Amino acid sequence: MTQPIAGDPTLVRSCPAPALSVCVYCGSRTGDAAEFANAARATGKAIARRGWRLVYGGGRAGLMGSVADAALAAGGEVIGVIPKALMGRELGHDGLAELHVVDTMHERKRLMAERSDAFVALPGGIGTFEELFEVWTWLQLGYHDKPVGLLNAAGYYDPLLAFLDQSVVRGFVPPAQRKLLQVGTDPEALLDRMTALARPGRARELYRQI
Ligand code: AMP
């Protein structure tokens, strides 16, 4: 990235791309194949290696634990946000830079969104689906303008993607809304797309109006 030098528009200095805070939504279980945990670990490691920050649900259970532990092992900063009622079930992680223990699930999701510049969903269950669809609808409604991505590890989301395409064909989802969801199979390539679309520090955020 380059920036003009004051007083001389012909000169530019290169400056490092700003560090992104990436919110990862993923399963509190590990699924039935090693590829899921591998994808979670690859994502956590890639975020940390870029000097970015991981924001996630704050637990040690399932893929949530895999992504956080991989980011921590690679020297990354990890922020967790967990409702106090889930500290036992999702095993609140005690090795994070920040663990916010909040009163409600709504508070958790809003704080995670406020602390992030981009969102990526990995394989997971209904909690992950709900978080992905919520942040995607918030984008579509203009409550924020941060990129939303889906990592389709091991083809897990193939049926969902086919259904989403069908929902466009059947006239319930405009093509422009469908295109707002960035889909990839490789964590590094998907994170590259997030970098290109994210606007750290300049994003529009109206979460408190939701
Ligand atoms: P899951 O994908 O079902 O394993 O859940 C992944 C994460 O989503 C967990 O941290 C859940 O606490 C969280 N989550 C967020 N919203 C919900 C919700 N409405 N119902 C269940 N879990 C949720």
Name which residue sits closest to atom 22 of ligand 1, judged by CA. 127
Q: What is the mean pLDDT of the chain?
A: 92
User: What separation in Å is there between the alpha carbon of 93 and the centre of ligand 1?
Assistant: 16
Q: Does 130 sit in the ligand 1 pocket, CB within 6 Å?
A: yes
The domain locations on the chain are 17-209
**105-141 tens-digit pLDDT:** 999 999 999 999 999 999 999 999 999 999 999 999 9
Task: Give exposure, 171-204, as e/b (b: 16+ Cβ within 10 Å).
Answer: eeeeeebbeebbbbeebeebbebbbeebebeeee
Amino acid letter, 115 = R
Q: Which atom of ligand 1 is nearest to the CA of 125?
A: 2
Position with higher pLDDT, 2 vs 140: 140
User: What separation in Å is there between the alpha carbon of 130 and the centre of ligand 1?
Assistant: 7
Q: Does 105 sit in the ligand 1 pocket, CB within 6 Å?
A: yes
Please say if the pLDDT value at position 204 is more than 80.
no
What's residue 59's pLDDT? 97
200: confidence class by pLDDT, cuts 50, 70, 90: confident
Name which residue sits closest to atom 19 of ligand 1, judged by CA. 127
Q: Does 147 sit in the ligand 1 pocket, CB within 6 Å?
A: no
Q: Give the global pTM.
A: 0.91
What are the distances in angstroms from CA 124 to CA 39, 43, 93, 103, 107? Answer: 12, 14, 19, 23, 21
**10-54 tens-digit pLDDT:** 554 455 667 899 999 999 999 999 999 999 999 999 999 999 999
Q: Does 30 sit in the ligand 1 pocket, CB within 6 Å?
A: no
What's residue 147's pLDDT? 97
- For 17-209, the fitting CATH number among 3.40.30.10, 3.40.640.10, 3.40.50.2000, 3.40.50.450 is 3.40.50.450
